[in-house]
Amino acid sequence: MRPREIRPRVYWVGAIDWDRRLFDALIPLPDGTSYNSYLIKGSEKTALIDSVDPTMQDVLINHLSQLEVESVDYVVANHAEQDHSGAIPRVLEKYPQAKVIATPRCKGVLADLLMIPEERFITVNDKETILLGGRTLEFIHAPWVHWPETMLTYLREDKILFPCDLFGSHLATTDLYVTDEGQVYEAAKRYYAEIMMPFQTNIQKNLEKIKDYAIDIIAPSHGPLYDRPEFILKAYHSWVFDEPKNIVVLPYISMHGSTRKMVEYLVEALAQRDVTVQQFDLAATDIGKLALALVDAATIVIGTPTVLAGPHPNTAYAAFLANVLRPKLKFVSIIGSYGWGGRTVEQLAGMLPNLKVELLSPVLIKGSPREADFKALDNLAKTIARKHKEHNFI
Ligand code: FEO
């Protein structure tokens, strides 16, 4: 892929990682990803906005050579995580006069992670600007999207916002701009769920902060650019501000079939009451899909057998994940089967301290489900449907 011109003398110079399947040794990447870096040539100064993952630094350097970039004056580090900052040392080596522009906090993190020397930094305050000659970069501090040191960069004359991770999507594509909004909506929502959702309140504040900026293009550091910014702004607005929907997320494990029978019964009982259910077999599911489902869900029901007197480790992992992702959930319940005893409910429920949820009567049964157990599941479905209705979750 060659550099792509976005506006006269403004270029995409990033790298597309088609084959990467795991991020942070944690997050599945079914569609690969990209590390978007941008070059802006003013009449006097040249700036690079973010770099690329260190594994692809040669791609970035090659792009700069193709554009015959003889000098880079500024390397803007919107965010210190290495998929954007990891190639900065190589850029600094190639362009010895270049300075790294970062928030004071980002400077500290970059110095720790990449050992960039003090004299290579210029720190910027919120709303500070630098002039490139005919072009102005404004730096908007936006902490906690998703690290404490993050900022956004706004190119005033071209009305382009470079928000780094915010609004991004893990999607490898040759399209510079979004062409298939359905596909990008799903990828961006998954990205939001996995990376941004724990910082919903901070994102609300930052959306407020940028609402009066005229924006023609949003150029994130992962996935395609938005030349119709209202598409992603509206989506984010709904994810962070809207009430949850009439949805139950049901991650479960079944070892010998009893818990599965209960799950199938409950799913049907909820569906009969017009509650949408998303069911995930944790032995096989893509954990990113589970995270995505949690964005809008009002209730999580965890289905687990009892293993060694507690929940199955896979369901403990799902509970841990839901707790750290901090979705808008309002209700939780636990169903499952045990052989002789244990503290499954106490242990699982105790793993959700971050969630402001009401625990609805769990249904834990001995062995295979019988008539009374199915009745208890019916009651649980009835309670969930009623609670959703009372809150007007639609
Ligand atoms: Fe794309 Fe937080 O790094």
Alpha-carbon distance 52 to 69, whole Å?
17
In words, the CATH class of domain 4-241 is alpha beta
For residue 194, give Cα distances in angstroms to 27, 277, 325.
Answer: 7, 20, 7
Q: Please tell me the residue having the least CA distance from ligand 1 atom 2.
A: 81
Closest ligand 1 atom number to CA of residue 82: 3
User: Ligand 1 center to residue 168 CA distance, Å?
Assistant: 9
User: Ligand 1 center to residue 128 CA distance, Å?
Assistant: 23
Structure tokens at 341: 């005893």
Over 90: is that where the pLDDT of 394 sits? yes
Q: Which of 298, 289, 284 is nearest to 189 (CA)?
A: 289
Residue 252: its pLDDT value, please?
Answer: 98
User: Ligand 1 center to residue 164 CA distance, Å?
Assistant: 7
Instruction: Share the mean pLDDT of the chain.
Output: 97
Q: What pLDDT digit, counting tens, does each position of 170-225 carry?
A: 999 999 999 999 999 999 999 999 999 999 999 999 999 999 999 999 999 999 99
Q: Which of 50, 94, 95 is nearest to 75 (CA)?
A: 50
Residue 334: its pLDDT value, please?
Answer: 98
Alpha-carbon distance 196 to 200, whole Å?
7
User: Ligand 1 center to residue 317 CA distance, Å?
Assistant: 23
Mean pLDDT of 129-139: 98
User: Ligand 1 center to residue 333 CA distance, Å?
Assistant: 33
Structure tokens at 330: 């309002």
Mean pLDDT of 53-61: 98
Q: Please tell me the residue having the least CA distance from ligand 1 atom 1.
A: 165
Percent over 70 (pLDDT), the chain = 100
Q: Where are the domains of the chain?
A: 4-241, 249-388
Alpha-carbon distance 185 to 276, whole Å?
20
Structure tokens at 124: 């910027």
Mean pLDDT of 135-148: 97
User: Ligand 1 center to residue 81 CA distance, Å?
Assistant: 5
Closest ligand 1 atom number to CA of residue 195: 2
Alpha-carbon distance 207 to 79, whole Å?
18
Closest ligand 1 atom number to CA of residue 168: 1
Alpha-carbon distance 50 to 119, whole Å?
19
Q: Please tell me the residue having the least CA distance from ligand 1 atom 3.
A: 81
* Sign of the four-CA dihedral 224, 43, 49, 214: negative
Alpha-carbon distance 91 to 59, whole Å?
12
- Kindly report the length of the chain: 394
For residue 254, give Cα distances in angstroms to 108, 169, 173, 315, 366.
Answer: 47, 33, 38, 10, 14
Q: Which of 70, 52, 65 is nearest to 16 (CA)?
A: 52
Over 90: is that where the pLDDT of 355 sits? yes
- Alpha helix segments (H runs only) across the chain: 57-66, 82-85, 88-94, 104-114, 181-191, 200-210, 229-241, 258-272, 287-294, 313-325, 344-349, 371-390
Can you say how many angstroms the Cα of residue 121 is from the centroid of all Cα atoms in its chain? 29
Residue 217: its pLDDT value, please?
Answer: 98
- Please provide residue 136's backbone torsions phi and psi, each rounded to the nearest 5 degrees: -125, 130
> Which amino acid, 138?
E
17 contacts 56 by C-beta, under 8 angstroms: yes
Residues facing residue 303 across a β-bridge:
252, 335
Residues facing residue 280 across a β-bridge:
251
User: Ligand 1 center to residue 33 CA distance, Å?
Assistant: 11
Residues facing residue 338 across a β-bridge:
366
Closest ligand 1 atom number to CA of residue 165: 1
Residues facing residue 94 across a β-bridge:
none
User: Ligand 1 center to residue 183 CA distance, Å?
Assistant: 21
Closest ligand 1 atom number to CA of residue 79: 2
Q: What is the pTM of this model?
A: 0.96
From the CB of residue 65, how many other CB atoms can be counted at a distance below 10 Å?
A: 11
Pocket of ligand 1 (CB under 6 A): 79, 81, 83-84, 146, 165, 221-222
Mean pLDDT of 390-394: 97
Residue 1: its pLDDT value, please?
Answer: 84
Alpha-carbon distance 147 to 116, whole Å?
19
* Sign of the four-CA dihedral 271, 372, 310, 352: positive
Place 384 in a pLDDT band, splitting at 50, 70 and 90: very high
Residue 294: its pLDDT value, please?
Answer: 98
Closest ligand 1 atom number to CA of residue 222: 1
The sheet that has 10-12: what strands, in order across it?
Answer: 4-7, 10-12, 38-41, 46-49, 74-76, 99-102, 121-123
Q: What pLDDT digit, counting tens, does each position of 5-26 carry?
A: 999 999 999 999 999 999 998 8
Closest ligand 1 atom number to CA of residue 35: 1
Over 90: is that where the pLDDT of 75 sits? yes
Q: CATH homologous superfamily for 249-388?
A: Flavodoxin domain (3.40.50.360)
Locate tokens 């636990």: which residue? 334
Mean pLDDT of 280-292: 96
Locate tokens 């003090």: which residue? 118
What H or E segment, with its residue span, contains residue 299?
A: strand 297-303
Locate tokens 């590390």: which residue? 35
Place 36 in a pLDDT band, splitting at 50, 70 and 90: very high
Mean pLDDT of 88-98: 98
